[in-house]
Chains A and B, each alone.
Chain A
Amino acid sequence: MEHPSPTNQGSSPPSRPRTLFEKIWQQHEVKAATADHPAVLYIDLHLIHEVTSPQAFDELRRRGLKVRRPDRCLATMDHSTPSLPADAAGAFPYVDDLARKQVEKLVENCRAFGIELYDLNSEHQGIVHVIGPEMGATQPGKTIVCGDSHTSTHGAFGALAFGIGTSEVGHVMATQCLLQHRPKTTAVEFTGRLKPGVGAKDMILALIAEIGVGGGTGQVFEYRGEAVEALSMEERMTLCNMSIEAGARAGLVAPDQKTFDYLKGRPWSPQGQAWEKAVARWRELPTDEGAAFDRVVHIDASRIEPMITFGTHPGMAMPIDDTVPAEIHGEATDKALNYMQFKAGETLIGKKVDVVFIGSCTNSRISDLREAASIFRDRNVAPGVRALIVPGSKKVKAMAEAEGLDQIFRAAGAEWREPSCSMCIAMNGDQVGAGQLAVSTSNRNFEGRQGKGSRTLLAGPATAAAAAVTGVVTDARRLGGT
Chain B
Amino acid sequence: MDVFRQVTSHTAVLPQANIDTDQIIPARFLKITDKQGLGENAFYDWRYDEQGKPNPAFVLNQNPFDQAGVLVAGDNFGCGSSREHAPWALLGKGFRAVISTRIADIFSNNALKNGLLPIVVDSAFHQKLTAQPGATVNIDLEQQTVTLAEDGARVGFTIDPFARYCMLHGIDHLDFLLQQEEAIKAYEEAAA
A-side residues, CB < 8 A to B, are 1-2, 4, 30-31, 35-38, 40, 42, 51-52, 54-55, 58-59, 63, 65, 79-80, 96, 98-99, 101-102, 105, 147-149, 151, 163-168, 170-171, 174-179, 181, 183, 213-214, 217-218, 247, 249, 313, 315, 331, 335, 425-427, 434, 444, 446-449, 452
Residues in chain B near residue A165, CB distance under 8 A? 82-84, 87, 106, 109-110, 113
What does the 1/0 interface line of B174-192 toward A look like (CB < 8 Å)? 1011101101100110010
5 residue pairs A–B, Cβ–Cβ below 8 Å? A1-B120, A30-B180, A37-B162, A58-B33, A446-B20
Asked if A40 contacts B26 (CB within 8 A), the reply is no
Given contacts A4-B158, A147-B82, A247-B79, contact A452 B26 (CB under 8 A): yes
Residues in chain B near residue A183, CB distance under 8 A? 105
Asked if B82 contacts A54 (CB within 8 A), the reply is no
Asked if A54 contacts B34 (CB within 8 A), the reply is yes
Q: Is B31 an interface residue (CB 8 A)?
A: yes
Residues in chain B near residue A65, CB distance under 8 A? 178
Given contacts A181-B160, A213-B79, A427-B30, contact A163 B177 (CB under 8 A): no
Q: Which of B45, B114, B118, B162 has a CB less than 8 Å from the CB of A179? A: B162
Residue of B nearest to A57 (CB): B33
Which of B35, B106, B113, B165: most chain A Cβ within 10 A?
Answer: B106
Q: B72 CB to closest chain A CB, in angstroms?
A: 17
Q: Is B3 an interface residue (CB 8 A)?
A: no
Which of A4, A42, A446: most chain B Cβ within 10 A?
Answer: A446
Asked if A171 contacts B174 (CB within 8 A), the reply is yes
Q: Is B63 an interface residue (CB 8 A)?
A: no
Asked if B177 contacts A177 (CB within 8 A), the reply is yes
With the chains together, A130 CA to B4 CA distance in Å? 41
Given contacts A38-B160, A331-B17, contact A55 B178 (CB under 8 A): no
Residues in chain A near residue B75, CB distance under 8 A? 214
Asked if B31 contacts A1 (CB within 8 A), the reply is no
Q: Is B80 an interface residue (CB 8 A)?
A: yes
With the chains together, A7 CA to B191 CA distance in Å? 23
Asked if A1 contacts B158 (CB within 8 A), the reply is yes
Residues in chain B near residue A335, CB distance under 8 A? 16
Given contacts A163-B82, A163-B106, contact A448 B45 (CB under 8 A): yes
Q: Is B108 an interface residue (CB 8 A)?
A: yes
Residues in chain A near residue B181, CB distance under 8 A? 175
What does the 1/0 interface line of B93-116 toward A look like (CB < 8 Å)? 000000000111110111001100
Q: Which of A40, A99, A149 has a CB less than 8 Å from the CB of B180? A: A40
Q: A206 CB to closest chain B CB, in angstroms?
A: 19
Residues in chain A near residue B83, CB distance under 8 A? 51-52, 165
B interface, size bucket:
35 or more
Asked if B159 contacts A449 (CB within 8 A), the reply is no
Asked if B105 contacts A217 (CB within 8 A), the reply is yes
Residues in chain A near residue B114, CB distance under 8 A? 167
Given contacts A175-B177, A446-B22, A449-B27, contact A42 B33 (CB under 8 A): no
With the chains together, A99 CA to B80 CA distance in Å? 22
Residues in chain A near residue B187, CB distance under 8 A? 30, 42
With the chains together, A311 CA to B22 CA distance in Å? 15
Q: Is B173 an interface residue (CB 8 A)?
A: yes
Residues in chain A near residue B45, CB distance under 8 A? 447-448, 452
Q: B22 CB to closest chain A CB, in angstroms?
A: 4
Q: Is B161 an interface residue (CB 8 A)?
A: yes
Asked if B178 contacts A101 (CB within 8 A), the reply is no
Q: B26 CB to closest chain A CB, in angstroms?
A: 6
Residue of B nearest to A176 (CB): B184
With the chains together, A168 CA to B174 CA distance in Å? 8
With the chains together, A179 CA to B187 CA distance in Å? 15
With the chains together, A143 CA to B108 CA distance in Å? 21
Residue of B nearest to A79 (CB): B30
Q: Is B62 an interface residue (CB 8 A)?
A: no
Asked if B174 contacts A170 (CB within 8 A), the reply is yes
Asked if A54 contacts B33 (CB within 8 A), the reply is yes
Asked if A217 contacts B76 (CB within 8 A), the reply is yes
- Nearest 3 CB-CB pairings of A with B: A165-B110, A214-B76, A165-B84
Residue of B nearest to A448 (CB): B45
With the chains together, A100 CA to B81 CA distance in Å? 22
Q: Is B28 an interface residue (CB 8 A)?
A: yes
Asked if A148 contacts B82 (CB within 8 A), the reply is yes
Asked if A99 contacts B31 (CB within 8 A), the reply is yes
With the chains together, A444 CA to B83 CA distance in Å? 14
With the chains together, A65 CA to B81 CA distance in Å? 28
With the chains together, A58 CA to B174 CA distance in Å? 14
Residue of B nearest to A178 (CB): B177
Residues in chain A near residue B22, CB distance under 8 A? 444, 446-449
With the chains together, A313 CA to B110 CA distance in Å? 22
With the chains together, A181 CA to B50 CA distance in Å? 42
Given contacts A181-B160, A214-B102, A217-B104, contact A98 B184 (CB under 8 A): no
Which of B16, B82, B188: most chain A Cβ within 10 A?
Answer: B82
